[in-house]
Amino acid sequence: MPQAPTPKTKCVFLDRDGVLNKELGDYLVNLDDLIIPEGVPEALRLLKSAGFLLIVITNQAGIAKGLYGADLVFAIHEEMQKASDGSLDDLYFSPDHEKFTGRSLSRKPDSLMIEKAMAKYKIDPAQSWMVGDRDRDMEAGRKAGLKTIQIVSGEVSSIGDFTAGNLFDAANIIVETAL
């Protein structure tokens, strides 16, 4: 008797700076400067309770530029885990920058980081989302076949399938759409 196929997993891929933590305008080079906006831990818990994997997908060109090391990226991730009761399932980051390390397919707007996570966790793109604050996040999500939500403030234009003012609003869109 043939076995039924294993159902694929649904996931929300999350950009870091500008989504999970306050965008400082340049690079977050000191753990003491990390600001997790109000509503982020609640949004992550809401998405988790709705059955989504939560995977961070972030460009970290400051590593290529010598501004900080991978240890800081992991330390920031650990602080986010503490703030959200361990809601984040994985972290993928690109330490590359085309002017310092050459072109990399892992760096957004390319989608290699997302594709690797999709293969590892057997993620169904039709049930999954990319949430980011930049056009390159939306482009990477689209290349991987995801629905997209762009976090925008004010009258900024968006190329996302949806827009939201913050991660909590985005989480509500995702949960309502998934019903």
The residues annotated with a catalytic role in the active site are 15, 17
- Nearest alpha-carbon partner for 110 in 144, 81, 79: 144
- Give me the sheet containing 129-132, strands edge to edge: 90-94, 53-59, 11-14, 129-132, 147-151, 162-164
Name the phi and psi angles at 14, rounded to 5.
Answer: -125, 125
Mention every residue, 6+ apart, whose C-beta is less than 8 A from residue 79. Answer: 31, 34, 36
DSSP 123: B
Exposure on the CB side of residue 26, measured as CA atoms within 13 A:
6
Q: Which residue has the tokens 């159902």?
A: 7
- Nearest alpha-carbon partner for 20 in 78, 94, 72: 78
